[in-house]
Copies of this chain bind each other. A is one copy, B any other.
Amino acid sequence: MHHHDLPGDWISAEGPPYPVMNGRCVITVGDLGEFGVVARIAGRLSQGGTVLLGPGDDAAVVSAPDGRVVVTTDLLLEGRHFRRDWSSGYDIGRKAAAQNLSDVVAMGADPTGIVVGLGLPADAAVGWLDDLTDGFRDECDLVGAGVAGGDITRSELVVVAVTALGDLGGRAPVTRSGARPGDVVAITGRLGYAAAGLALLGAGPPELIEPSELIELIDAHRRPEPPYARGPQAAALGATAMLDVSDGLLQDLGHVAAASGIALLLDPGAFTVPAVMREAARLTGTDPLEWVLSGGDDHALAATFPAGVRLPEGWTVVGRAAEGTGVQVSGMSLARGGWDHFRE
C-alpha cells in the first residue's frame, strides 16, 4: 500500500495540455459526459474470469474462493506520482495497476481484480483515457485479474485511486513479521532500474535518451515489471516474511526487521549492477549501488526463507536474518534515507 513521490523539485504544479491532433478538435471527456465516459471505459475491458459482475451497477462482484480476500489500495496524483509529459496514459494505467497487483502477490496471493477511482479534467482527451483504460486492462491480464469497476469524477489534475483484490488459495498470508534468525534473505525482480530511469528523466529531455539503450531504464520508471508469479511461489515455498520493494530495498527491509524483531545482514557483493545502469550512473554522477539499495518503484519482491529451502531460478540470496535490530550492509554506511510523503 505504498509508493513514493517524484522528487520535490520535479513535482509539477499543473499538467501539460492534452494534445491537439492534426489541428482537428480532440474529443474530450467533457464532451462525452460522465455516463459516456463510463460506457466507453466499460467497452474496452475484458469480460469474465474472476470478475463475476463487472462495471455498471452499485458494486461489482469478484470471486474469492479462499473465503478470505486480500485488499490493497494506492492513491496516485498527477504531478506528484506521475507526469503526463513523462509517461503516456497507457504507461500510467499499467503502472498504477502494477503497483497494487504487486502488493497483492507480496502477500502470497493471486490477484483477482481491481477497481479504479478516476479524477479527470474535463479537457482530457478521450484517446488519452482509452490508453489509460487499456493500461489497467493489460496489466491485469498479465495476472488473470480483471477491472471490475470504478468511479469517475471531475478533477483539476488527474487522480488515480486503484484498489486491488487477491485470493490466497488456501495459503497463509505472508506478512512482514515472520522472519526468524537464521533465515536467508532473497530478492527477485529488478532493483534500481526505475530510480535510474527517473534520474535520467530529471537530468534531461527524453528525446536525447530515447534512441539509446538507456531507454530500458526510463521504461522501467514508466512501467514496472513486478515478478508477479514469484509471490505465490514464495508463499508455497514457505517464505517466512515478504514485501514488495516500493520505497527502496533498505527502507523496506527495515520494516521486515522491525516487524519481525530481528536484524537483516546484507552482502553488498550479492547485488549485480547491470552495464546499462553503470552507464546511467556515469552520466548522472551517481553511485549505481545507491539506486539498487535505495531506489523505489521497481516492485521487486524481497522475502525471507528458512535456511534449508532450495530457491528456484529467479531468486537471489542477498543476506540473512540474525538476532538484533535493523538492516546492516557489510562495510557500508547506512545513512541512506527513505521516502516520506510529508517531508520533502
On A, residues with C-beta under 8 Å from B are 1-3, 5, 29-30, 32-35, 37, 52-53, 55-77, 80-81, 103-104, 106-107, 109, 113, 115-120, 122, 148-155, 159, 161, 163-166, 168, 173, 175-176, 242-244, 259, 339-344
Contact = CB atoms under 8 A, between A and B. Distances in A.
Closest 6 CB pairs of A and B: A75-B117, A161-B161, A59-B72, A64-B64, A163-B163, A58-B106
A58 B244 contact: yes
25 contacts: A1-B150, A1-B151, A5-B154, A29-B342, A34-B340, A34-B341, A35-B340, A52-B68, A58-B72, A59-B71, A59-B72, A59-B109, A61-B71, A61-B107, A73-B151, A74-B117, A75-B161, A76-B153, A77-B119, A77-B159, A80-B155, A117-B163, A153-B341, A154-B342, A159-B159
Given A32-B342, A119-B77, A63 B57 contact: no
Given A29-B342, A342-B33, A342-B37, A68 B61 contact: yes
Given A58-B1, A175-B53, A64 B69 contact: yes
Contacts of A149: 1, 71-73
Given A151-B2, A340-B34, A340-B35, A60 B64 contact: no
